[in-house]
């Protein structure tokens, strides 16, 4: 749905884009949410890699920080779970 919508906009087909938006509103909203969660998870993964590579933190401190970040990733994933 998102690809069709973006394609219509890119081609200047505003009526087609409006129609897609009206018919696929739920899918387009979910797409935005999924993309936001993916971006946030990617940032968390990058932070985890920095922590893992750190020479200044103890193993215990690394574990605590990584566990917190993993918990945050889990919370993000829960936002996508059907209710």
Query: pLDDT-derived band of residue 83, with 50, 70 and 90 as boundaries?
Result: low
User: How many angstroms from the chain centroid is the CA of residue 47?
Assistant: 15
pLDDT tens for each residue of 16-65: 999 998 988 888 888 888 899 999 999 999 999 999 999 999 999 999 99
Q: Residue 78: pLDDT above 70?
A: yes
Q: How far is CA 13 from CA 8, 9, 64, 83, in A?
A: 5, 6, 52, 35
Mean pLDDT of 58-74: 97
């Amino acid at each position: 749905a998102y690809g069709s919508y973006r394609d219509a906009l890119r081609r200047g087909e505003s009526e087609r884009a409006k129609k897609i938006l009206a018919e696929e509103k739920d899918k387009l909203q979910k797409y935005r949410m999924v993309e936001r969660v993916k971006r946030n998870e990617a940032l968390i993964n990058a932070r985890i890699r920095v922590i893992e590579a750190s020479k200044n933190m103890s193993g215990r401190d690394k574990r605590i920080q990584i566990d917190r970040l993993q918990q945050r990733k889990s919370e993000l994933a829960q936002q996508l779970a059907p209710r």
